[in-house]
Chains A and B, each alone.
Chain A
Amino acid sequence: MTTAPASIRPAVARDVKPVRNRQPVHSRERWRNIVWLIPALAVLAVFVYWPLLQNIVFSFLKWNIYSGEQTFVGGANYAELATDPIFGKALLNNAWYALISIVVQVFGALALAAIVESVRSERMRKAFRSIYFIPSAISLTVAGLLFYFIYQPQSGMLDAFLTSMGLGQYAQAWLGHESTAIFAIIAMSQWQGFGYSVLLFSVALQRIPVELYEASAIDGVGPIRRFFSISMPLVREMTGLMMIVTISGAFQVFNEVMVMTSGGPNNSSQVLGTWLYHAGFLNNDFGYAAAIGVAIFVITLILAILQLWMSRSRRVEW
């Protein structure tokens, strides 16, 4: 393989120290900039940070929403969280969601994007991108209802398909059994979000200089090796970002579970978001719901920090 010209050789940003603009800024201009930021800060403070702080305070309380009576219970809600088997189940389901989403929506989408981008005809490439993207244009609620019908045991397409293929013994109520419900929901979610990931990876792949592929092709490198040696390293930044966004999204999943099973049967498909809703709005245990909210916040905060750290250390330039 010939060496790529220095101008297009990939470089990782961690080797390059960021250079700050040290030009003096007039103090009046600086204050003007700050003033422009105040409205946005005020909105964030009122609608994000203040409720967030309140939620933390609520997580230390037990109260009757009917009477408004509040009692400080210390860390009792957190102690309950640690021993609640359904919270554990919900956490595990979120982890399954994250794991499967990484495999399908990150690596699967990257592979498919590479295949789509390797199609010679531009018209066909556009057509494929659109075909894969269409499910992402459907709202999660609508997709959830659609798949509810696909999974129906009596008239659902999936069981009918299995039966027609001679696999009738596998036909079942996919959303009605503890062992399959969460995976049936995750499968729907992959179908819905897959096309969006493919589109993002397609954009990232399009940014890779075509000379790299041409040079490797001249050297006789096959498409699979090209994918692993050129495409994957050069979309590393996007892959990292997608992984973090996917994991973070997996821990905030709510709509599809509510629409398809509401966390049932027998709490088998509960995720953190639905268990929070369940605790607060169905069981009237708002203090405990607030504690679940704090747990979700901590998990997503850690993931967000990780996201920032990874996006700094994985920047690729050429």
Chain B
Amino acid sequence: MRKFTLAAASATLALALAGCSSSGGGTQSADLGSAPDYTGSISILTAFAGQPMGSYFENVIKAYKAEHPKVQITLSQETDDNAVKDKEKVLIASQSLPDIYFSYAGNWGQNFAENGLAADLSAQIAPSTTWGKTFGAGALNAFKYNGKYYGVPLYNDAKFMGYNKAIFTKLGLTVPSSFEELISDCTTIKAAGYTPIAFGNKDGWPGLHYLQQLFAYNVPRATLDKDLLPKTATWSDPGYVTAMKQFNELITSCTGDGTNSNGVTYTTAQQQQQGGKAAMYYQELVEFDSVNTGGSRLNKDGFGIFPLPAPADAKGDPTTLEAAPEGYMINNKSKNAALALDFMKFATGQKNAAVLSSPPYGQPSAVIGAVTATTSSAAVAEGSAAVNKAPSTVVWLDMATVPTVGDAWVSASEGLVSGGLSPADALKAVRAASEKAK
């Protein structure tokens, strides 16, 4: 079995790569200006597989086909993160990207945009256009590369500390206003028999989310932006080591498993807060409705959110929020690009945007006015408002930079958690990865 799997993986790699042509992606551009052909067909790849998200696009397609019965739509869904990333890479290599496909903001989307795989949607979705005006400008700008707009932002995402209101009230705690206060609160919470912060770092990236937010607080923004690009990176600012030391302090003082956290999954940590065992859990805005579910202990105790508080002497920007929308791109070689565009306009219409923002989906739509106290849960509405108000945002570390450097940071996060890697050694490994990526 294992021989078969490895052989299959190698063969897939070889066969997928065999599809690569040495001449590049070609120059053909999607025809977005013509009228949609409502007898045509389009294919879609989403990152919404599984429950409860799986039915969202299925329902949107059903509604679209009710209006245009002759349109043929092939839907393919993968789960978020590695599954969808792997699928897209194989599809790129075999030159069979679907007409509409999922994309992260940051370096992931940039690769599509700069290599002729994504259609330039500036004429349709730039903030000054009719369709563009329906989106928050920040969400549109997240998919702006070299002055052009390439993505249709579907929902906003950001990282917040979710907390159990009943535990905070019982212990006489208020929302901490600084990182130091958060650490101090952890001691109080631990003494009361609760896990202060639920944390599972089996996949490495949960630690990365803490690190990127702490980097934004401790490193001047211009330096951070420079370091995210291998060509200009030095990763020499002392703020990185400071941030990693703060991360270590948080792991030691606030998490239940401490250095054992690499053996705990993200979902296990999620369940700790859901069951009322953990006072806090650092989570994404898109997770709020799946953590704070009706009938859960957390739901009864009350669920509140706050951004990870900045350290008192932060040298970076203490108002920055780690946030990034996720969205969809249209294949630059799509034969039915106008139809694909029409479908995305339909999917991001006010009605569908409101459905997406409501439970059980709870994905705060990037469409203005879709997330309200009536359409969304209180936490999703509050988080969404905070994203819109944030003076500046920073993209997830593994998406903000090239994969080699992002991967080095994932390994560093695991090493920092287990105690097997010092902040200085972690930075050294990242510098080496960045040097290689130049």
Contact = CB atoms under 8 A, between A and B. Distances in A.
Interface of A: 47-48, 51-52, 54-55, 58, 63-70, 139-140, 151-154, 172-179, 249, 252-256, 261-262, 264-268, 273, 276-278, 280-286, 289-290, 293, 296
A65 B17 contact: yes
Interface string B105-125: 000000110111100000000
Nearest to A151: B263
B10 A68 contact: no
Interface of B: 1-3, 5-7, 9-11, 13-15, 17-18, 20-25, 82, 85-86, 89, 92-93, 111-112, 114-117, 201-204, 256-257, 259-264, 268, 403-404, 407, 410-412, 414-415, 417-418, 420-421
Contact of B6 (A177, A261, A273): A273
B9 A276 contact: yes
B251 to A, nearest CB: 12
Contacts of A66: 25, 92, 111-112, 114-115, 117
A67 B174 CA distance: 52
Given A264-B414, A265-B201, A266-B420, 9 more contacts: A66-B25, A66-B92, A66-B114, A68-B23, A68-B25, A69-B22, A173-B262, A178-B415, A283-B407
Contact of A290 (B9, B13, B23, B261): B13
Contact of B415 (A175, A253, A265): A265
B361 to A, nearest CB: 27
A70 B418 contact: no
A277 B166 CA distance: 45
B89 A264 contact: no
Given A265-B420, A266-B421, A267-B411, A255 B404 contact: no
Given A54-B17, A69-B24, A153-B257, A47 B11 contact: yes
Contacts of B117: 66
A312 B377 CA distance: 71
Contacts of A261: 202
19 contacts: A51-B10, A51-B14, A52-B14, A54-B18, A65-B92, A65-B93, A66-B112, A173-B263, A173-B264, A175-B202, A175-B263, A177-B418, A256-B2, A264-B414, A267-B411, A281-B85, A281-B86, A281-B89, A283-B407
Given A65-B92, A66-B92, A282-B407, A255 B5 contact: yes
B194 to A, nearest CB: 14
A181 B364 CA distance: 38
Given A66-B92, A68-B25, A70-B20, A266 B2 contact: no
A255 B264 contact: no
A67 B25 contact: yes
A152 to B, nearest CB: 7
A100 to B, nearest CB: 15
A296 B7 CA distance: 11
Contacts of A278: 407
A278 B85 CA distance: 12
A130 B264 CA distance: 34
Contacts of B262: 173, 175-177, 264-265
Nearest to B426: A266
A65 B5 CA distance: 23
Contacts of B20: 63, 65, 68, 70
Contacts of A172: 260, 263
B115 A64 contact: yes
Contacts of B201: 176, 265
Contacts of B82: 282
Contacts of A70: 20, 22
Contacts of A63: 20, 22
Nearest to A189: B2
The 3 closest A-B pairs by CB, nearest first: A173-B263, A176-B263, A176-B262
Given A66-B112, A68-B25, A262-B203, A140 B263 contact: no
Contacts of A154: 256-257, 264, 268
B92 A55 contact: no
Nearest to A56: B14
A254 B260 CA distance: 24
B351 to A, nearest CB: 35
Given A55-B14, A264-B411, A68 B111 contact: no
Given A154-B257, A177-B262, A139 B23 contact: no
A58 B17 CA distance: 8
Nearest to A193: B2
B3 A252 contact: yes
Contacts of A267: 411
A266 B414 contact: yes
Contacts of B263: 151-153, 172-177
Contacts of B116: 67
Contacts of B259: 173, 176-177
Nearest to B417: A265
Given A154-B264, A173-B261, A276-B9, A282 B403 contact: yes
A255 B1 contact: yes
B409 to A, nearest CB: 11
B13 A293 contact: yes
Contacts of B418: 176-178, 265-266
A141 to B, nearest CB: 9
A242 to B, nearest CB: 15
Contacts of A48: 11
A273 B421 contact: no
Nearest to A174: B263
Given A68-B25, A264-B411, A290 B17 contact: yes
B24 A265 contact: no
A55 B2 contact: no
A140 B2 contact: yes
